[in-house]
Chain A
Amino acid sequence: MSTYRMHLLVCGGTGCQASDSRQLADNLQAQVLMAGMGKEVQVVTTGCFGFCEKGPIVKVLPDNIFYVEVKPADAEEIVSEHVLKGRPVNRLLYVEPGMKERIAEHREMPFYKKQLRIALRNCGFIDPEDINEYISVDGYQALGKVLTEMTPDALLVLMKKSGLRGRGGGGFPTGLKWEAAARNKSDKKYIICNADEGDPGAFMDRSILEGDPHSVLEAMAIAGYATGADCGYIYIRAEYPLAIHRLVIAIGQARQAGLLGENILGTGFSFDIEIKYGAGAFVCGEETALIHSIEGERGEPTNKPPFPAESGLWEKPTCVNNVETFANVPPIILNGPEWFSSIGSEKSKGTKVFALAGKVNNVGLVEVPMGIKLREIIFDIGGGIKDGKKFKSVQTGGPSGGCIPAEHLDTPIDYENLTRIGSMMGSGGMIVLDEDDCMVNVAKFYLEFTCDESCGKCTPCRVGNKRLHEILTRITEGKGTMKDLDNLKELGGIIKDTALCGLGQTSPNPVLSTMKYFWDEYVAHVVDKRCPAGVCTALLSYYVLPDNCIGCTACRRVCPVSCISGEVKKVHEIDQTKCIKCGACQKACKFGAIVRK
């Protein structure tokens, strides 16, 4: 039996691995062995801790010391100082922006204080490549419980009672979805895990699969029992190699342990799971398109009804749930539906994982109870806006969502409230924008994305979004008219009403929400031919302030198109007809003599 007395948890998520955490884990292991403590200290590679901004993360337990931005070369000091002599390495502890004190324990960090981890409960705590670690934290107990103690009907009642809703965006009650699939009689049924995470900036599903793959496998088997399916597919994009790697290991281990396959735990219930790779098309996150893709057809959506619960994969009843939804299922069964429904707001129960990105200090993955205010996420957990800039807006829900202005920062977050203020929950991407972001340009960015990702099957989405994008481009180039603004609104409304699937029905949201809350910015672009945030290059010019210019020629030398004239010690001048507005001169000038207007 092992006598490990100390555990060094190293984050092995994609983000931290990109910063060399694998080498770090190897180095720590080597140092531990060299110190002769191989039997006392265990180095564990875990899933994502969520605090990606400051990765790679190393957590020392049971001391509860949280190290940030650890480099492979720091391994020696951690082992020789902390592991060997019990002296935490002070310089690697976290410092909260604006504070002086270093914080040793993660629970003292504002980033973690307001979080409540259900879906992410095991991420950053267990080794995702070892089924024994999952079993030791009550893994597969929920499956065992439903198989031995509950009928499928009782399980459906429990799920409905919990109030769990789909975490992929739509927010459809999970219990009802399972029930619909269960009610339809068929010789064959399917469970599909939608891991086609496509929103720019969202990575919660990937992190769950990387950090706790077994929780998803277990929940899929539970869903199989509830609906009468014996076969599951995980549809995951091939561009998630680490998540796939860990899923393959997890499925292999679960089969070997008899937790997947025939006659699970001797109960006569059989369920197995296969992985299907997607090519990374956004539209394949839509469930009908996803099903067609698994069938080998083009990833294009079809009309609903029939819903997948009646006629899904190979025309059999099929239940499609998102990764995060599945990850919530085992704790609900073990702790009871009352426990789950006691968390969250009136209509949105439990927690939601958000991928916090953009101009915020603590970029990362956060899981918070529903009903928390946007302000708490951005300013308390997120640590506020980078470089002390002013908050302008937060984009939620990805390309289907909208931009929420400062006036709604105190709105409690749940499905209904976000929709009411013109955005949506989506999969939980949350991109923070500051005063330097141009809202017209942001809308254009998302439209560009939807134009790229539209499958082209229906005209409103294929042609309509293209036209929206063209109008937005015109506006950012200073060629827009007030008529264009009317057209944007009208066309946006038409696309929403007439597009075939969720992608098209929501794609005008970024335009419509920014027009609603940032109308002035649109008008400034159209009427004054001015971009207030100074982003749209066509609408701004660089000028030399004669009073500040000392004639050092620094700007003249860096200008890539040689449009700056002027001799040494004489005031320089920018030729506006040649200027490409790259801003190099402004960066080069040490005297603040170049301004952007």
Chain B
Amino acid sequence: MGIKSLDELKSLRDKLKTDINIRASGEIDSNIRVVVGMATCGIAAGARPVFTAMVDEARMLELGNVTFVQSGCMGACHSEPTVEVRFPGLEPILYGNVTAEAGREIVRRHVRNGELVQNLIIGRPFETV
């Protein structure tokens, strides 16, 4: 499987880069953070396939500026699975009753294009101090 040229080496690197980028992304403060509620209620409502679908979508779209993390219970157990999208410096937006397909839509429209997916928004998350 010898690498024959610098170009081959570069394309191999680009192919492998996505995985490593996930590692580094947590330290990039300018990244968009997508937080999926993964407490018992979230998991029971199917948060895990939503999470993986969103990660997968971002990967397919080659979005490098987003970090996916999970959180504990966000208190919106009635609307699980919940997904919070935080653009740096902006108010976070909370989506509820997110399915895998809806998760992909959020990645496509909100994360990539910056437009809100109005019909899924369940409100602003609580104030924190």
Q: How far is the CA of A379 from the CA of B47 in the complex (A)?
A: 45
Given contacts A5-B22, A135-B13, is CB(A257)–CB(B52) below 8 Å? no
Q: How far is the CA of A434 from the CA of B8 in the complex (A)?
A: 55
From B6, B20, B55, A265 is in contact (CB under 8 Å) with B6
Q: Which residues of A contact B9 (CB under 8 A)?
A: 135, 140-141, 144, 265
From A62, A84, A257, A265, B38 is in contact (CB under 8 Å) with A84
Interface code B1-40, partner A: CB below 8 Å = 1, 0 otherwise?
Answer: 1111110111011001101101111110000000011111
Interface code A253-265, partner B: CB below 8 Å = 1, 0 otherwise?
Answer: 0001111000001
Q: Is A303 an interface residue (CB 8 A)?
A: no
Q: Does B72 lie within 8 Å of A86, measured CB to CB?
A: yes
Q: Does B27 lie within 8 Å of A3, measured CB to CB?
A: no
Q: Would you list 6 pairs from A and B whose C-beta atoms are within 8 A, ordered by A residue?
A: A3-B59, A9-B23, A63-B26, A136-B13, A136-B19, A141-B10
Q: Is B101 an interface residue (CB 8 A)?
A: no
Q: Does B56 lie within 8 Å of A3, measured CB to CB?
A: yes
For the residues of B in contact with A, the DSSP-based class is helix
Q: Does B1 lie within 8 Å of A257, measured CB to CB?
A: yes
What distance in Å separates the Cβ of A156 from its nearest Cβ neighbour in chain B?
21
A residues touching B (Cβ–Cβ < 8 Å)? 1-7, 9, 40, 42, 61-64, 84-87, 107, 125-126, 132-133, 135-141, 144-145, 147-148, 256-259, 265-266
Q: Does A257 lie within 8 Å of B2, measured CB to CB?
A: yes
From B1, B20, B69, A133 is in contact (CB under 8 Å) with B20
From A85, A132, A145, A258, B39 is in contact (CB under 8 Å) with A85
Q: Does A2 lie within 8 Å of B19, measured CB to CB?
A: yes
Q: Does B20 lie within 8 Å of A3, measured CB to CB?
A: no
Q: Which residues of A contact B1 (CB under 8 A)?
A: 256-257
Q: Does B38 lie within 8 Å of A85, measured CB to CB?
A: yes
Q: Is B43 an interface residue (CB 8 A)?
A: yes
Q: Which residue of B lies closest to A2 (CB)?
A: B19
What distance in Å separates the Cβ of B123 from its nearest Cβ neighbour in chain A?
20
Q: Which residues of B contact A4 (CB under 8 A)?
A: 19, 22
Among B5, B19, B27, B67, residue most surrounded by chain A Cβ atoms (within 10 Å): B19
From A9, A62, A141, A145, B68 is in contact (CB under 8 Å) with A62
Among B1, B43, B72, residue most surrounded by chain A Cβ atoms (within 10 Å): B72
What distance in Å separates the Cβ of B22 from its nearest Cβ neighbour in chain A?
6
